[in-house]
Amino acid sequence: MKIALIGGSGFVGTRLIDLLNEDPLKYDCKNIDLLPSHFFNDITVIGDVRNQEEMDRELKGMDVVVLLAAQHRDDVTPISLYYDTNVGGMEVTLRAMEKNGVKRIVFFSSVAVYGLNKKDPDENHPADPFNDYGKSKWQAEQVLKKWYDTHKDWNIDIIRPTVIFGERNRGNVYNLLKQISSGKFLMVGKGENHKSMAYVGNIAAFVKFLIDNVSENYNVFNYIDKPDNNMNQLVRHVSKVLDKHIPATHFPYWLGMLGGYGFDILAKLTGKKLAISSVRVKKFCATTQFNADKAHSSGFKAPYSLDEGLARTLEFEFVHPRTDEITFKTE
C-alpha cells in the first residue's frame, strides 16, 4: 500500500512513519513536506501543499493520502496563512488526488472546531470555533464534505484529535509538564477543569487502524485518550512518576487573565512571541473534554493508557539522559 504523508516531517508524521515502517512489506511510505525529516529523509521530498503542480506530481501512484500539513500555532501571522494552508492546501490536495486516481484520504482536523468550554461534544456537536486555527480546520472539513457529495466512491476519514503530547514534543503539554516537574508551578483557577489529551503513540496507531480497517464512506472521529485528568490529578500523577513532592500555588482566574493581557501588550511592544498570552491562559483554564466513544468502540485498542503515555513522556524528557536534541514544536 503506497501511502503519501503530506506534512510528515513533524511530530505526528514522524511517529506515524516510524510505526508504518515496522511492516515495510505492507506499507510503502512517502513524505511530502516543506522541511526535511529528522529521521526519514530518505523517503522525504520537499513540497508545498499549496502548490498544485508539486502535489500533482508527488501524489502519482499513491493509494492513500494522510494530510497533516497545517498552520497550527496560535500566534501565526499574518492570519491569512491559516486559510492559505489549511483550506487552500486541502483544495490543492483533492484536485491532485483526483488527477492521480487516489480515492482515500485521512485528514487531521482538530477538536478546535467545537470551540471552548463545550460539554463533552461528540462528532455530531455543532461547530463553534473560537480562533482562526479552528475556523480554518472547520472550513477544510466543509471542503471535504462538499467534495464527498460528488465523489461517493471515495473514502474520507477525518480525525479530530485533542492536544497531542509525547516524547520530543515542544508544545503546551510539554511546557505544562516542565513547569509542574520544576516544582515552581502556578495553578490558575481551582484546578478542577478537565484536560483531554492524546498520546502520540496512540494517535499513530489509530491512523494505522483507519488505513487498515476503515476504507469506505465519509467518517469523522474525535480522538482522546480516556479517562480525562483534571489539573489537580495531572499534578499528582507527575509527582508520582517523578517521585517528588510538587506543591501547586493557586491563583484566581481573573488575576491569571490580567497577567496574560500584560504579556499580550509586551509581545506587541517588543514584536516577540512570548510563552504566555491571554489566549493561552484562557485555554489553560478551560475545560476541554470531548466524547471519544466512536473511536474507542470502532474496534481500535489503544496500545497505551493515558497515564502510561504521560509516564513515558516524563521519563524520556526529565529522567533518562538524552542522546540528541531533536524536538518538534507544536501547540
Backbone angles phi, psi at 210, to 5 degrees: -65, -45
Residue with cell 493557586: 250
- Residues forming beta bridges with residue 219, ordered by sequence position: 157
> What's the longest Cα–Cα distance across the chain?
59
Is 133 assigned a catalytic role? yes
Q: How far apart are CA 329 and CA 310, in angstroms?
A: 18
Helix/strand/coil for 79: coil
Query: HSE on the CB side for 314, CA within 13 Å?
Result: 22
Closest CA to 249 of 325, 185, 174, 301: 185
Alpha-carbon gap, residue 71 to 86, rounded angstroms: 7
Count CA within 13 A, CB hemisphere, residue 188. 20
Catalytic residue among 27, 82, 114, 133: 133
Q: Where are the beta strands (DSSP E) in 28-124?
A: 28-33, 44-46, 64-67, 104-108
What does the alpha-carbon distance between residue 202 and residue 222 come to, in Å, rounded to a whole number? 13
Active site members: 133
